[in-house]
Amino acid sequence: MRLFLIPISTKRTLIYGQRLNKVTQETPTLADKASARAAQLWLKWESAEKGWQKKLTEYGNKVFNRIAFEEWGLKSIPPLSARKEQEGAASKKIEVIFPPSIISEQNVPKIVERLATERTSLHRRRLIWCLIGMPISAPFGLIPVIPNIPFFYLAYRAFSHWKALSGAKHLEFLSNRTLILPVKSAALDAVYRRHNTDTAIDDDALVNKEKVEWTEVAKAIRSARKGDEGHKEVLLLREEDAEAVAKVANVPALAVECERASRQVAEQMQLRAEEDAQKIH
């Protein structure tokens, strides 16, 4: 596995796990079978020209896009196998690719640790509520013709929260055993420099104390690199940059994750700005 840290803003970072040399199990697990069957059924309904199946998938895709990008990121990280957990420190280090002008190398382990733990209680709590709601919604399946949408939705969300918890546990395992190997990516850095050529301040520039015109974005990046949370949040990755990130990372699936993350963060920042403006007036 290889991990990517993709800064979306100066306060929000997407983590994505790329599986390397994935080996297909001879006997798929029950969860794998259910997931594959659900994906095939969803694709079939999505391909329909009209009808309730088509409407359901259109609405469902909108709901999926509202799921927090942090959850999708944790879900991309495979569950920690019992064998690897027992091996402990004997496991090899995992590369963590990051743009050095935005993230300081010394902060990489801290960021991984934070992403591993900050949503654990939330996913655990929501998993429990989904499991409680599933048997309550089960009787709706007795209605003929119409599928039991509430039950299937709760089942999907329960599985999603479980996957996110599993990914978080794997990240925490790597963090606790110092199995993180930060790897600078100049190619990834170039994507951020396309729009902010005057704000990308690398380690050498800071060490050599070069004179820099500190724009608002540059100040936010500098504060973020120092670990200062008091700075104003600034959006760093735009939706149109998603394809470029996926291309330099050579991970096509990363485009969708970056696009979703950028859109969600931009919307949340806009909402906060509007709320702040209302307070002033």
DSSP character string of 249-277: HT-TTHHHHHHHHHHHHHHHHHHHHHHHH
pLDDT confidence of 62, banded at 50, 70, 90?
confident
Cα 143 to Cα 56, 140, 147, 148: the distances in Å are: 17, 6, 8, 8
d(Cα 79, Cα 109) in Å, to the nearest integer? 20
Q: What is the pTM of this model?
A: 0.82
State CA 254 to chain mean position distance: 10
Query: Reading across the β-sheet that carries 13-18, which strands appear in turn?
Result: 13-18, 2-7, 94-98, 180-184
d(Cα 232, Cα 155) in Å, to the nearest integer? 39
> What pLDDT does residue 141 have?
55
Residue 128 neighbours by CB under 8 Å, 6+ apart: none
φ and ψ of 158, to 5 deg: -65, -45
> What pLDDT does residue 46 have?
67
Residue 224 neighbours by CB under 8 Å, 6+ apart: 7, 10, 11, 102, 103, 231
- Segments forming the whole domain that contains residue 109: 2-280
Domains of the chain: total: 1
State CA 45 to chain mean position distance: 27
Range 38-68 burial, b when 16+ CB lie within 10 A, else e: eeeebeebeeeeeeebeebbeebeeeeeeee
Q: 185 pLDDT exceeds 50?
A: yes
> What pLDDT does residue 108 have?
95
Q: Which residue has the higher pLDDT, 91 or 153?
A: 153
> What pLDDT does residue 55 have?
74
Q: Write out the E strands in the chain.
A: 2-7, 13-18, 94-98, 180-184
Report pLDDT digits (tens) over 76-122.
999 887 556 555 545 688 999 999 989 999 999 999 999 999 999 99
Q: Which residue has the higher pLDDT, 194 or 132?
A: 132
Q: Taking residues 178-207, what's their average pLDDT? A: 73
